[in-house]
A and B are shown apart, each in its own frame.
Chain A
Amino acid sequence: MASEPFFSKPVVPSEQGTSQPKIEGPEAQLSASSGVVSHMSSLAVERDVLGMGAMAGLNGEAAGPGSDAEVMLRVKAGDDGAFDYLVQKYRRAMVSFMYRTAHSSAIAEDLAQEVFLRVYRSRETYEASAKFTTWLYRIATNLAVNYTRDTRHERPENTVSLDEPDENSGQTPDVADGTPTAEEAILQRERLAAIRQRVQALPERQRLAVLMHKYQHMDYRQIAEVLKLSESATKSLLFRAYETLRVQLKEFL
C-alpha cells in the first residue's frame, strides 16, 4: 500500500503480503527470520517468499536476531528503513486497537500514528530488555486511556447512533452486509451498538484486557506485561470481564 517509504530506504511490508492472513493480533503478524538481517527490505521479501510469517511460536518477540526488538535496535542505531518495516507490520493492529477505543476510524488513525511517532521519538532510549510488542502496546494503552479520559465528557456514553455517519470520517458504522431484510439490519445494528456500549462500559483495565485478548489475540502473559499485572491477576480480570459481557449481552445470544 505504501508506495513511498517513510524514509529513504525501500521496505516491503510483510503485513501487506498477499499470502499473509489478515489477523489483527501480534501472533499472526509477528514472525521470526533466521539469521541476522542486513537490510529490512530484504528481510521482508525473505519472509514473504519463504512464508515465514505463518510460523507459530517464533513470533518475533524474543530479542534475538530478526526479532522486532532487534529491528527496533536498528531504528535506535539510525536505520530508518527498520522503522518503516515496523510501521507496516503493526499499523493494522494499532488502528484496530485504537478504533475500539475511539469508535471513529479517523481518530483511530490519528491515535495509531501518534503511537508510531512516540516509538520514533523514544528510539534512542529503547532497551531490548522489554519485548517490542509489550512496549508498543504500553504506548498504545497509555494513549487509549488518556484519550478516553480526555473525551469522557465530550462523547455521549453508550449512545452510539448507527444511523448517523461518523462525524470525523463521514462513514456509517461498520455493519456486516448481506442482511436480506430491513428488520434484520436493524437488529444487527442494535447488536453492534450493544457490543460497543457494553465493552466501553467495562472498567478500564478490563476493557483494555478484553481488547487485547479478544481482538488482538494476545495471551495472558503478554497482556499481563503490558498492564503490569501478574498473570493470575490478568486471568481473573479477563474472567470477570467476559462474565460481565456474557450476562449483559445475553439478550442478543
Chain B
Amino acid sequence: MNCNEIRERMPDLVLGMDAATPELHQHLQTCRECAARMAEVRQTMVLLDEWAAPEPSPYFDVRLRARLREEAASAPAGWMQWFRKPALAVSLAVLMVASVTFFRGGNDGRSGNVPEVLAIAEPGSAVGDLQNLDKNHELLYSDFDVLDELQVQPEVNQNP
C-alpha cells in the first residue's frame, strides 16, 4: 500500500465509511507526510461539519400537500372522468336530449308553416328607410365587379 492509495482512502477513513487496516496504521506511523495529511483531512471534515442545514419547516408538509392538490386539480381529466360523477353525467344527458329536441323542432319550423317575420315596409317609413340603407350597403360592398366593368374617366378634373 503506497502513499497515494492511502491518501485516496483518507476521506472515507475519517468519515468512518472505510475501516483502517493494520497495514494502514503501520504506514501512518512510519510516514510522517501521510500522518500529517490524515490530520489535515480530519480537520477539514470537522470544518465542513460547521455548515449545518436547517430542519424542514413546520409548513413543509402543508405546502407540499397544497402543491399536490393544485397539481391534481389542474391535471387534464380523461373522458372517463365524466362517468365518475353521476349528477354531472345525468345533467349533461338531459341537456343533450333537450338540445336535440329543440334542434329538430327548429328544422320543422323552417319547413314552411311559420309565417315570414320580415316583411317589406312601406317606402318613406322609418323601417323602409332602414331597409333601403341595408340595400345600399350591399350595393356598395358587393357590386365592385360591375363598377370595374364601367369605363373609368382617366382625369378627374377633365370635362367630359
Contact = CB atoms under 8 A, between A and B. Distances in A.
A253 interface: yes
Contact of B40 (A87, A121, A253): A253
A226 B137 CA distance: 74
Interface string B57-77: 111110111011001000000
Interface residues of A, number: 47
B59 to A, nearest CB: 8
A6 B11 contact: no
Interface residues of B, number: 32
Contacts of A91: 56, 60-61, 64
B130 to A, nearest CB: 61
A249 B47 CA distance: 9
A213 B50 CA distance: 16
Nearest to A121: B71
B64 A219 contact: no
Contact of B47 (A1, A121, A191, A238): A191
Nearest to A188: B50
A252 B11 contact: no
Interface in A205-253: 213-215, 217, 219-220, 235-236, 238-239, 242, 245-246, 249-250, 252-253
Interface stretch (A44-52, A108-116, A125-133): A108-116
B41 A246 contact: yes
Contacts of A100: 51, 53
Interface string A51-87: 0000000000000000000000000000000000001
B133 interface: no
A192 interface: yes
A199 to B, nearest CB: 7
Contacts of B41: 242, 246
B47 A195 contact: yes
Given A99-B53, A109-B56, A242 B44 contact: yes
Nearest to A3: B61
B57 A235 contact: no
Contacts of A253: 40, 43-44, 47
A217 B18 CA distance: 12
A174 interface: yes
Nearest to B58: A1
A100 B56 CA distance: 13
Contacts of B68: 6, 117, 120
Majority secondary structure, A binding face: helix
B38 to A, nearest CB: 11
Interface in A124-151: none
A92 interface: yes
Contact of B51 (A87, A117, A196, A217): A196
A96 interface: yes
Given A117-B68, A253-B40, 13 more contacts: A91-B64, A92-B56, A96-B54, A105-B57, A108-B53, A108-B54, A176-B50, A191-B50, A214-B48, A217-B17, A220-B12, A242-B10, A253-B47
Interface of A: 1-2, 4, 6, 24, 87, 91-92, 95-96, 99-100, 105, 108-109, 112-113, 116-117, 120-121, 171, 174, 176, 188, 191-192, 195-196, 199, 213-215, 217, 219-220, 235-236, 238-239, 242, 245-246, 249-250, 252-253
Interface of B: 7-8, 10-12, 15, 17, 40-41, 43-45, 47-48, 50-61, 63-65, 67-68, 71
12 contacts: A6-B68, A91-B61, A105-B54, A108-B53, A108-B54, A117-B64, A117-B67, A117-B71, A176-B50, A176-B52, A192-B51, A214-B11
